[in-house]
Amino acid sequence: MSLDAPKASGPPSAYFPTVGDTIVVGIVDVGTYHQKDYNTDELKYWPDGGKVEGKVITGLVVSTSGDTAAGSEKANSPVAAGELVTFWAEGGKHFTYAAALKEHGPVDRGDVMLWKREDDKPATNPKHNDQKVYIAKIRSPKAEDGDLVARCEKAAKELAAAPPLDAPAAPAQSTPEIDEF
């Protein structure tokens, strides 16, 4: 079963603040999203009118090393085994994920993915930050992974059952002793 379905919202991003940080996850889901221009906050399009898309990979944390966290530079927290994180594959991360996918082939729920932050590349423009470099590897689950596939399937069902953040609230039950306002 190849995974490729977009989701409206999801778990926090995996964050790698330090060179050498790593995370290993079981793949729960892979989706496609329409990228935005960070300067204008408008959706991005190719010159031929096609959408500029990225991949969002949701993973069940198996292990981490270094300062790997969930969130972003501005707001992050430690991440532990069993938690869900996402990887937004655009820019350099897109090519990293694409190379791992090319080497592995289509991914299935429960496949094991490693992300590692390598040494940064110096910026060519002094107004820009150094480029963060990542590597990713994907492999099929092995016996030593235990029930990882089952845990990833359970997590996927729970994510699918969760209402989107912008869903309307369920209608309230009115009771005679509560005054309507």
Q: What is the pLDDT of residues 59-102, one digit of tens each?
A: 999 999 999 999 888 888 899 999 999 988 887 888 899 999 99
Tell me the pLDDT tens digit for each residue of 150-173: 999 999 999 888 766 554 555 555
Which segments within 66-177 are labelled E, that is strand?
Answer: 69-71, 76-78, 84-89, 112-117, 134-139
Q: What does the alpha-carbon distance between residue 109 and residue 42 come to, in Å, rounded to a whole number?
A: 32
- pLDDT recorded at residue 33: 84
* Upper half-sphere CA count for residue 147 (Cβ side, 13 Å): 6
Q: What does the alpha-carbon distance between residue 22 and residue 68 come to, in Å, rounded to a whole number?
A: 6
- pLDDT recorded at residue 162: 76
